[in-house]
Amino acid sequence: MNEKSTGFATVRVRFAPSPTGFLHIGGARTALFNWLYARSQKGQFLLRIEDTDRERSETRFTDDILESMRWLGFDYDEPPVFQSTRFEKYQSVANELLAKGLAFRCDCTTAELDAIREKCQKEKRAFRYPGTCREKKEVKSPHVIRTKVTSAGETKFTDLIRGEISFQNRDIDDWVIMRADGSPTYNFCVVIDDHDQQISHVLRGDDHINNTPKQILLYQALGYQVPNFAHLPMIMGADRAKLSKRHGAASTLEYRTMGYLPLALINFLVRLGWSHGDQEFFQIDELQRLFSLGHIGKANAIFNPDKLNWVSGHFMRDIPAAALRDYAKQYFGPELAFTNGVAPEVLEKGISIIQGKVKIIPEMIEQLHCLFGEDPKYDPSTLKPEDKAKYLEFLRVLEPVITASTFQKEDLESRVRTVAETLGQKLGPLAHALRFAVTGGKISPGLFEMLEIQGKATVTRRIGMALKALGS
């Protein structure tokens, strides 16, 4: 199937969120697919804020959307369009349809329509506006404006993911394009905006499939060129239910707060519906080169938090330590305040020995406390009595040996191994004792790399503190 079909000179796509809530992860996936498609086709990616819902649209939600896009790196090629600034345009088009006899004013009350809807439910048939006001010469206010939809024939289109889809026009009612308060409805203004922005491809979730025939009929009524449509598979929870807060974060930016890298989240999201063979991990330039609609599946994608953590662990290992340091400082500055006196190159070295063992930033910060944080609190009661005795014995022997070291990791390891051989022990028990001394027993990075970075003053001080705690 030709992804560039229907005669548009340039691929232009848009992401059009509504600022009635935070940008959820499904919306971020839609933005990603649109952005990648535009970049893969050397086209343009546009952002439109669909804020016609005056009561529910809030600035904080718009800010969340814009910041989410910035964090993920989804750059758009034109300034964002806000639907709230285009009400005059929508009213003008509605008047045009009225003048052409393609729309009509309707003063049917909510109670009247509810009664018809209830009757349809009892008769087990779909509700369809009965055309009460189609030929009325005069209507009362308040009133809405409806399109005139022909009941003859069918409306069909070729979905670039799902193939041929058709709807019987008799199942499409005379739907409202302008509400009684003068605000436009979604299916109305989206057609006008897509036309004015010269959108060539509409990529959106498959929950919009039923909106498509209404929009196509409106395109045709207005003499607009119909864009290509591609409906993306839904994202479901592991329980096969529609993705909701109970399956994950409510906002995309919560994943930043939880400590996921943007590239990790992008790689996780792109595989929710798209694939390129068996390849699991991609850099951005690869995705921009390889992405295509032909590799998007029809089946719903499953949101798997364990898979996200696995992907995140890969990119925590893969990112240069200096870049990870700068990123962590940017978004987790207060949590890293204990490293403020640490030289950047030393902090970088510390991160380099930790990043392969953690999956998210907070785990890395916890590990960095072992290196650069305050001295640990020792609690020998957490040890078995026999281990406490062994730790005390080993540390007494190790203290002068460690103090005499050059504090290069190779020298440290060699000295400790020599002590182990002298005592007829394996390295492990002595390493456990040292780890307890310098961390208080917490999980820590590689032992000898950690000792080298901590330095003689810190290590010898902590060994002394551990001996005192163990001997008490």
Do residues 408 and 362 both lie within one domain?
A: no
Residue 101, domain member (yes or no): no
Do residues 255 and 309 both lie within one domain?
A: yes
pLDDT at site 249: 63
**Residue 1 pLDDT > 50, yes or no?**
no
**Of 75-84, 101-110, 245-254, the least confident:** 245-254
**Residue 244 pLDDT > 80, yes or no?**
no
Mean pLDDT of 56-74: 96
3-state secondary structure of 227: coil
- State yes or no: is 245 an active-site residue: yes
Residue 454, domain member (yes or no): yes
The CATH code of the domain that includes 391 is: 1.10.10.350
What's the structural domain count of the chain? 3
Helix (H), strand (E) at residue 384: none
**Residue 251 pLDDT > 80, yes or no?**
yes
Residue 290, domain member (yes or no): yes
Domain finish residue from 345, 372, 399:
372
Contact at 8 Å (CB) between 61 and 20? Answer: yes
Do residues 401 and 326 both lie within one domain?
A: no
**Residue 247 pLDDT > 60, yes or no?**
no
Per the confidence metrics, is the pTM higher than 0.85? yes
Mean pLDDT value across the chain: 94
Do residues 314 and 324 both lie within one domain?
A: no
Residue 405, domain member (yes or no): yes
Return the percentage of the chain with pLDDT > 90, whole number.
87
Domain that holds residue 400: 380-471
Domain finish residue from 372, 407, 439:
372
How far apart are alpha carbons 454 and 346 in whole angstroms?
9
- pLDDT band, very low/low/confident/very high, at 5 (cuts 50, 70, 90): low
**Residue 106 pLDDT > 70, yes or no?**
yes
DSSP category for residue 210? G
Residue 365, domain member (yes or no): yes
- pLDDT band, very low/low/confident/very high, at 246 (cuts 50, 70, 90): low
Domain finish residue from 281, 296, 318:
318
Residue 324, domain member (yes or no): yes
- pLDDT band, very low/low/confident/very high, at 33 (cuts 50, 70, 90): very high
Select from 364, 287, 260 the least CA-distant residue to 39: 287
Do residues 385 and 414 both lie within one domain?
A: yes
**Residue 171 pLDDT > 70, yes or no?**
yes
230 bridge partner residues: 203
Do residues 251 and 274 both lie within one domain?
A: yes
Select from 338, 328, 324, 173 the least CA-distant residue to 257: 328
The CATH code of the domain that includes 53 is: 3.40.50.620
Instruction: Give residue-wise pLDDT tens across range 356-408.
Output: 999 999 999 999 999 999 999 999 998 999 999 999 999 999 999 999 999 99
Among 124, 245, 377, 384, the active-site one is: 245
158 bridge partner residues: 164
Do residues 44 and 3 both lie within one domain?
A: yes
pLDDT at site 443: 76
**Residue 102 pLDDT > 90, yes or no?**
yes
DSSP category for residue 438? H
Return the percentage of the chain with pLDDT > 70, whole number.
97
